[in-house]
Amino acid sequence: MTKSKLNSFRRALETKLAELGNGNRNRDVIAIESTPDEMDRVQHVSERDYAISSLEMNSNRLGEIRRALHRMETGTFGLCLGCDEEITAKRLAALPWASYCIACQDAAERGALAHGDEIDPSFLMTA
C-alpha cells in the first residue's frame, strides 16, 4: 500500500475517531427519570434503551478504529486478520477500520471464525 493511501486512510480514521469521541460525551439521555405518567415512563425507557444501544455501538466502533490505527503503527494495516491476505482498497475505502477481507468477514458473521483464530482454507472454498 502506498504511503499516500495509508495517510488517506489514517486521516479518515482519525476524523471518525474524533466524531465518535464527541458523540460519546452526551450521556445525559441515559439518566433514569421518574414520572407518574405511564406513557412518559415508557417513552423515557425507550429513549434510554436507544441511547444505550447507540453508545454501545459507538464504543465498539471506537475500538475498531483504535485497533486499525494500531495496525497502521505495526505495519499490518490492510492485511486480513483471518487469512493474512490483503484487504481490497475498495473495502478499506468504505470501512477503513475493516480487519477482515470480505470472505473472512462473511465467515465470521456465519460463526465460522472464532475470535483471533484463522479460518480453515477449505471452508473459504465453500463460502
Looking at the structure, tell me whether residues 60 and 72 fall in a common domain. yes
User: Per residue of the chain (127 residues), what is the pLDDT tens digit?
Assistant: 889 999 999 999 999 999 887 765 556 656 666 767 788 778 888 888 888 888 889 999 999 999 999 999 999 999 999 999 999 999 999 999 999 999 999 988 888 545 555 544 444 433 3
Instruction: Say if pTM beats, i.e. exceeds, 0.95.
Output: no
Domain boundary among 44, 59, 77: 77
Looking at the structure, tell me whether residues 87 and 49 fall in a common domain. no
Which residue range(s) make up the domain with 89? 78-127
For 93-123, give one letter per residue: b (16+ CB within 10 A) or e.
eeebbbbbbebbbebbeeebbeeeeebeeee
Looking at the structure, tell me whether residues 92 and 111 fall in a common domain. yes
> Residue 78 and residue 48: Cα distance in Å, rounded?
37
> Which residue, among 87, 66, 70, 83, has the nearest Cα to 119 in the 3D structure?
83
Residue reference for cell 476524523: 15
Looking at the structure, tell me whether residues 69 and 84 fall in a common domain. no
